[in-house]
Chain A
């Protein structure tokens, strides 16, 4: 154990290793959060369709279930064949994780929109909101609490899945795992695991803050004891 910490100290002591680590960390943040945003936008659009048209709803649920079933490595390597990118291009990971995020969030978006009380929608319509504006300024904000739970799951899953991209040569903290494995060297692997967990935790805390900022009425209701 003492040996291990000495080795870890040596690893972290090298400026070279540190700069590589921070580069990998930045790649990781980029590769996991861009798909989170893109996937959320797609899921909200799809959810809007599914909420309005009953026939679109069942198709969406079947397709999103099926897409979510595809194993990560399989999706990563098939994307180049579909969109014509290079096998080692990091855009493959972004597209694949966007697909997963959207597939994961379709159901929460639908559930969240269903949970908006009909009388609120009716009131908004009655005071003159057009459907598009009503969706953006009434229905979507009200569905944030349910939606936020789904986004948190998706962010953890994305942050953990980006590492698999190292197998197809894209960046991120996964590089530390392949690197450590090839050199039979524990330090980069442990650093990579701990950094991934911390990143997931920090992003989760930020998302919780963001949810609270976006739902001020929830706080009022809690302090007023109405909940």
Chain B
């Protein structure tokens, strides 16, 4: 696939932003577990949160391919900033854009797409990880309000979110059929963010519990109809896979570039490292795999833009990019030798950040199940 001039120009712009503004912040965000309020604001001003959202809803009216490129380029500099962009867009902007009615879009989509408000998505629960049908958070309709009770966990940006899309069930015994999607706003009585997680990587991003105790929301906060929750989150996750794939790809690309720089500028017993065949061989391997992953992810983005089925390719893109991303970051450390273990070089951060891509928004095992179902039929 060959990118259009329009996309190439867009990529250039984001790459410059990533190199000049994001990359210098990446080290301290990781070291201090600092949430990048400044970068979050900046990305909003650049219109990165609504790349595939029409302008009338606060977006920039571009396409999913542009979005994948943006996530890739930002993550190439900083995985934490990349996951914020990916989660905010794919998991909060998207479901409201997909399933919201006109007034919901006016109320929530516009500020989210413009970056005036921060969004997140509450699907995972302590006992409902890969198996979302195990959702135990209850939403009970009483008069004109839903009363929400339950706990969500591992929610990206949970603590700092203004607008949270959550799933909850009318009755856990109904499985998927009982699940609906709702919007909860920050400050709603009965809703509080719980514990903040301390993680292996993506330490500049926030991961938290969300706790709902008799949290009352207006019945207008229901997205779609009752029981649409499963459909909404499946569609949301289809799109989400493109962004997590792009994130994995960006981190892998970052690791490759830093490694190229290292082997080009240093020597061993007088010989430049990049002239060693064993090193060339590794660079060739990861370089090839990164290109292949990029094709899958861009393909998934183009399918989405064309309104065609994307489940298979999106799952393949996420599965493959995170798989080769782990190999690329692992190899990057190895080519730096012991120095790759230190904070002087970013490659140890890259592998810590990359590991989440095999887990978040559907583990690689779940992706394989999805892919197999698409290939083999049900």
B is a partner of A = no
